[in-house]
Structures are given as structure tokens and as C-alpha cells.
Amino acid sequence: MAIAVRTLDEGAWVNVENTRIVGVSNVWKLARHGICDCDVSFFVVEVFTDVGVDGRWVEARTGGQCIGCGEHGTTGWLQIGKMGEDSFRPVEVEGVHSPR
């Protein structure tokens, strides 16, 4: 199954099947992230640099800043959501995420 994904507005949004799924300015709690020395980074996403599909999962790489220590960086692939049988289910941004 092909899933149509792209970024919009110069990386301000991730668009899946013509729906804006997630935008910048959210704070993502990241574990095992490699951006800074914080155990869990509270990472403000400033741009989505890449989007991709891995099976049913939609993933994105992001650039932004850890508000704990001020470090800027780019994440590995973060899972944004999963295509179900008939609809796309975004992840809960409030949870803890581990890029790969």
C-alpha cells in the first residue's frame, strides 16, 4: 500500500494523505536521542526535514532545540503515526519517543 506523505510550508507540517498530521512548535519528549546530554530531551521541533514510510509507519526527521539545555540538533527518524485498515492514526506527541 502506498502512503502519500510530504512536508508542507517548508517543513512546517507533515502531510499524510492530504491531511496535516503534525506541525512544528510541538515539544517532543525524546529518549536515546543523541542530540544532547539530557536523559530525556524536551525537544521543540522547528522543522521537519524529511518524511518517509516504513511499512505502515510514517516517520520524519526533525530539526529543533532541546529546551532543557539549549542544544540545537537534528533527530533520527521519529514515528509520526501508523496507517490502520482505513485511517491514519497519529502517535501521541505527549508520550516519550525514541528516534532511530
Which residues sit at the interface with Zn ion, rule CB under 5 A?
Answer: 36, 38, 41, 66, 68-69
Residue with cell 510550508: 9
Specify the residue, 41 or 51, whose C-beta has the smaller distance to Zn ion.
Answer: 41
Nearest-5° angle of CA 83, CA 86, CA 90? 35
Q: How far is the CB of 81 from Zn ion (least distance, A)?
A: 25
Count CB atoms within 10 A of the CB of residue 13. Answer: 17
Q: How far is the CB of 35 from Zn ion (least distance, A)?
A: 7
Q: How far is the CB of 42 from Zn ion (least distance, A)?
A: 8
Q: Taking a C-beta distance cutoff of 8 angstroms, is the pair 3, 83 a contact?
A: yes
Half-sphere exposure of 20 (CA within 13 A, CB side): 8
Specify the residue, 68 or 90, whose C-beta has the smaller distance to Zn ion.
Answer: 68
Specify the residue, 41 or 75, whose C-beta has the smaller distance to Zn ion.
Answer: 41
